[in-house]
Amino acid sequence: MKWLDDMMEQGARGLARRSSRRSFMARLAVLIAGGAASVPLLPVARGSEHEPEIALDADPGDPTSCEYWRYCAVDGFLCACCGGTQSSCPPGTQMSPVTWIGTCRNPADDQDYIISYNDCCGKSACGACNCNRNEGDMPIYRPQLSNAYNWCLGTDSAFYNCSTSRVIGVARKS
């Protein structure tokens, strides 16, 4: 995904960086109590607070946690929290064929995998488990690296619902 969640998330992360965790959470609580403007912050806290359930298998981790290995470059609401999974869309949505790509290391086999972050589109924002970073984010003149855009392109509707993180294959050095 992209852009939808950015605005509140940046505020939250900026504050977190410059405050003690305790004061940040206190501030978050005030914002949540404060009304509608705080609504987008809730999934931010929920997504990042979730304790990963590490499973000793080939695809370890909790797909509803922002810490899950495939989410190294994800930006949006996690489909695993929205009625889909880490690789499938929620019912009634449509998967965007146009994606951006990340390379994430799987802790199970210590190999780098190419991950395709296909958006699920056609309904408005799911709102749960926001997982969002700006590391490596570039301005709009480098769209393939810009999270300011909504990437629901090539779908029947441009409305963004959530993001998947599909394994495409092992990244091999040529």
Partner 1 sequence: MSFSRAFATALLLAAGSAVADLPPDKMGEIGTLPETWPPHWIIAHDVSYSHIRDGKSFVLDLDADSIGQQFKGMVNSSFAANFVQATTRPELYLAETFYSRGTRGERLDVLTIYDKRTLAPLGEVILEANQRAFIIPQRNLMKLTGDESLILVYNFSPAMSVSIVDAVGRKSLGTLPTPGCAGIFPTGTRGFSALCGDGSLYTANLDKSGKVASSSRSDVFFDVQDDPLMEQPAWIDGRAYFPSYQGNVVPVDFSGDKPVIGEPWSLLDDDTAGWRPGGLVPTAEDANGRMYVTMHPEGGDGTHKDPGLEVWVFDPVKQERLARLPLQVPGLSIALTRDKEQSLLIVTTVEMKLDVYDAASGELRRTLDNFGQLTPIIVFGAR
Is 6 tagged catalytic? no
157 is a site residue for partner 1 (CB under 8 A): yes
Rounded distance between C-alpha atoms, residue 152 and residue 129, angstroms: 19
SS3 category, 132: strand
Under rule CB under 8 A, residue 134 binds partner 1: yes
Q: Which of residues 65-104 bind partner 1 (CB under 8 A)?
A: 98
- Member of 26, 54, 148, 170 binding partner 1 (CB under 8 A): 148
Helix ranges (DSSP H) in 2-86: 6-18, 21-34, 41-49
**Half-sphere exposure of 13 toward its Cβ, with a 13 Å CA cutoff?**
14
Cα torsion for 151, 155, 156, 158, to the nearest 10°?
A: 0
- Which of 20, 21, 34, 91 forms a contact with partner 1 (CB under 8 A)? 34
Q: Which stretch binds partner 1 (CB under 8 A): 14-22, 47-55, 62-70, 103-111?
A: 14-22
Residues in contact with partner 1 by CB under 8 A are 3-4, 6-8, 10-15, 17-18, 31, 34, 36-40, 98, 122-125, 127, 133-143, 148-150, 152-153, 156-159
